[in-house]
Structure 1
Amino acid sequence: MARAAGERAGRGGRTLAFDLAVLLALCALFVASLCLGSVETTPAEVLGILAAGPGDASTAAQVVWQIRLPRVIEAVLLGGALSLSGFLLQTFFANPIADPFVLGVSSGAKLVVAVVIIVVLGAGQVMSPAASVGTAFLGSLVTMGFVLLISRRVRTQGMLIVAGVMVGYICSAVTNFLIAFADDQAIVNLDNWSRGSFSGATWADVGAIAVATLAMSAAVFALSKPLGAYQLGEPYAQSVGVNVLGLRMLIVLVSSLLSACVAAFAGPVSFVGIAAPHLARRGVGSSLPLLVTPACFLTGAAFCCGCDLVARTLFSPVELSVSAVTAVFGAPIVIALMLRGRAGR
């Protein structure tokens, strides 16, 4: 019993150390994102600008308050949301490479957003942030429904991933078909959205994102105990009083809403939902949702914040797609962690 208590204490200490390390890295990236760019400022200048408030009319203050600060906050919130969505899907399907991008959920969201963008632009109207989230959520939910139906018919997790990829291809094909009949402005808008970017963030967007992502993140943390039982198998979860059907529905809804929020405001962003949960589990040395959930959010936030900084500054004034940068860094991380895990076994 004393040994078990010692193991729990050691695991808790490792988790706290990892969370603090990631939080420090996130703070450093946050400050760097506010300082670096076409208008460079020092950390002391940024601190003075933030202390003075948004009323300062200087160029540096306007750049920090109106462009960089909402953008970096959006990257932090959406990175954490995408990481949690990937963690939920990996738990749900018991598959280490399940995430919204791989399973075609992001492509489904893109399809519905494409329909709305083309129709709305044709009608001369503008979508509100709530409408963007709603349409992306609908696409994510419908696509997830198809994946769930397929999961009942296939017997291996590998086939499930292949089926998810095929669903993504179908959604992409229908989207391309719609683009063929869209006007030039609609095509430009959809192309800019589909590249994945945190640019153009506004404080109104940040407010909507904060409400959605923080509420859903709190829901994921509240589900930590039943998720831990679910990881041990449905029979065990039922034996300890978990409503498995209700839990599965909540996982689908919460993961779909998290990925929809990312798709609505930043477009499809790849590999964060795979890489960040792996890094979090490796960092805390456990798969317990109670320990992994906070680490997962912080890791995804830091990962997206860093990738956005690279995308914005590496070839300035040319800005890269953030999805391309996350893939460049995320894919090797996943490969390395899987090879390391296999070697360990």
Structure 2
Amino acid sequence: MGNAKVSGGGRRWRATAYDLIVLLGLLALFAANLCLGSVGTSPAEVLGILLSGPGDTSTAAQVIWQIRLPRVIEAALLGGALSLSGFLLQTFFNNPIADPFVLGVSSGAKLAVAVVMIVVLGAGQPMSPAASVGAAFLGSLLTMGFVLLISRRVRSQGMLIVAGVMVGYICSAATNFLVAFADDQAIVNLDNWSRGSFSGATWPDAGIIAAAVVAMAAAVFALSKPLGAYQLGEPYAQSVGVNVLGLRMLIVLVSSLLSACVAAFAGPVSFVGIAAPHLARRGVGSSRPLLVTPACFLTGAAFCCGCDLVARTLFSPVELSVSAVTAVFGAPIVIALMLRGRAGR
């Protein structure tokens, strides 16, 4: 019993140390995102601008307050959301490669945006940011609702994965069908959105994202105890009083809402939901949801902040797709961690 307590205490200390290290890295990346760009500013200048408040009318202050600060806040929040979504799905499917978009949520969002761009607005009509966000949310939630309906009738996680993949294929096929009849400008706009980007972030958007992500993150943390039981198998979870069917529906609902929020405000952003949970579990040395949840959020936030910094500064003034950068960094991380895990076993 004493050894178990020491072991548990050691895991908590390791998790705390990992969280502090990642938090420091996130703060460093946060500062780098504010300092680096086409308008270069030193850390001292950035600090002075932040302390002076948003009333400063200088060019550097406008760049910091209106462009870089809401963008890096959005990248951190949505990165954390993607990581938590990936952790939930990997726990649900007991599959290390489960991804927030495995249930077809991003494909549903893209289909809804395509319908609004091509069918509702038609040729030559610009699509406002609000319309894009609304369409993406609607498509994500409709897709999520359909998959939830399937989950009530399908008890096998493997079959639910297949159902989600098929829903994604159907949505992608419908989108391609619409694109075949679209004008060139609509095709360009849809392609730009589907690449994934944190550009164009605004303070109102950041406020909405913060409220949604904080609420969902709190829900994930509240589910830590039943999730820990679920990790030991459905029979064990049922034996300790967990409503397994209700928990499964909550996992799908919360993970889909998190990824829908990302799709609505940033478009599809790949690989964060796979790579960040792996890094977090490896860093804390445990799969306990109570320890992994904060580590997941911080890791995803830091990962997206770093990738967004690379995307907008590496070939400046040309900005890369953040989804491409996350895939470039995320894929080797996942491969290396999986190989190390297999070698350890």
Same fold (TM over 0.5): yes
Structure 1 unmatched runs, 5+: none
Supply the distance in 2 between the matched residues of 1:69 and 1:119 (Cα, whole angstroms).
35
Supply the distance in 1 between the matched residues of 2:114 and 2:204 (Cα, whole angstroms).
22
Give 1:121-200 correspondences, 5 Å limit. Answer: 121-122=121-122, 126=128, 127-128=130-131, 131-132=134-135, 134-142=137-145, 144-145=147-148, 148=151, 152=155, 157=158, 164-200=164-200
What amino acid is the match of 1:134? F
The answer on 1:201 being equivalent to 2:204 is no
Supply the distance in 2 between the matched residues of 1:26 and 1:149 (Cα, whole angstroms).
39
TM-score using structure 2 length: 0.93
What amino acid is the match of 2:105? V
Supply the distance in 2 between the matched residues of 1:233 and 1:4 (Cα, whole angstroms).
22
* Deviation string, structure 1 residues 166-189 (Cα, Å, up to 9, x no partner): 543332221111122233333222
Supply the distance in 2 between the matched residues of 1:10 and 1:315 (Cα, whole angstroms).
44
* Deviation string, structure 1 residues 26-57 (Cα, Å, up to 9, x no partner): 00000000000000001110010011111111
Question: How far off its partner does 1:305 sit?
Answer: 0.4
The answer on 1:45 being equivalent to 2:48 is no
Supply the distance in 1 between the matched residues of 2:16 and 2:66 (Cα, whole angstroms).
34
Rate the CA distance shift 1:163–1:131 in 2: closer, same or farther, 3 A: closer
Number of the residue aligned with 1:72: 72
Supply the distance in 2 between the matched residues of 1:331 and 1:85 (Cα, whole angstroms).
18
Question: How far off its partner does 1:5 sit?
Answer: 1.1
Supply the distance in 1 between the matched residues of 2:132 and 2:194 (Cα, whole angstroms).
17
Rate the CA distance shift 1:90–1:342 in 2: closer, same or farther, 3 A: same
Structure 2 unmatched runs, 5+: none
Supply the distance in 2 between the matched residues of 1:169 and 1:119 (Cα, whole angstroms).
20
Q: Which stretch has the larger CA shift, 246-255 or 64-73?
A: 246-255
Matched-pair contact (CA < 8 Å) for 1:121–1:186? no
Supply the distance in 1 between the matched residues of 2:90 and 2:66 (Cα, whole angstroms).
37
Identity of aligned residues (%): 80
Supply the distance in 1 between the matched residues of 2:156 and 2:31 (Cα, whole angstroms).
49
Number of the residue aligned with 2:257: 257
What amino acid is the match of 2:210? A
The answer on 1:246 being equivalent to 2:253 is no
Q: Which stretch has the larger CA shift, 305-314 or 188-197?
A: 188-197
Matched-pair contact (CA < 8 Å) for 2:80–2:297? yes
* Deviation string, structure 1 residues 317-345 (Cα, Å, up to 9, x no partner): 00000000000000000000000000000
Supply the distance in 2 between the matched residues of 1:180 and 1:107 (Cα, whole angstroms).
17
Rate the CA distance shift 1:210–1:128 in 2: closer, same or farther, 3 A: farther
* Deviation string, structure 1 residues 292-328 (Cα, Å, up to 9, x no partner): 0000000000000000000000000000000000000
Matched-pair contact (CA < 8 Å) for 1:129–1:205? no
Question: How far off its partner does 1:150 sit?
Answer: 9.6
Q: Aligned residues, how many?
A: 342
Give 1:293-332 correspondences, 5 Å limit. Answer: 293-332=293-332
Matched-pair contact (CA < 8 Å) for 1:225–1:290? yes
Matched-pair contact (CA < 8 Å) for 2:103–2:144? no
Matched-pair contact (CA < 8 Å) for 1:277–1:296? yes
Number of the residue aligned with 1:291: 291
Question: How far off its partner does 1:103 sit?
Answer: 4.2
Question: How far off its partner does 1:163 sit?
Answer: 5.9
Supply the distance in 1 between the matched residues of 2:79 and 2:245 (Cα, whole angstroms).
28
Rate the CA distance shift 1:306–1:17 in 2: closer, same or farther, 3 A: same
The answer on 1:33 being equivalent to 2:33 is yes
Supply the distance in 1 between the matched residues of 2:153 and 2:339 (Cα, whole angstroms).
29
Supply the distance in 2 between the matched residues of 1:318 and 1:246 (Cα, whole angstroms).
47
Q: Which stretch has the larger CA shift, 88-97 or 138-147?
A: 138-147
SS at match of 1:95: coil
Matched-pair contact (CA < 8 Å) for 2:148–2:253? no
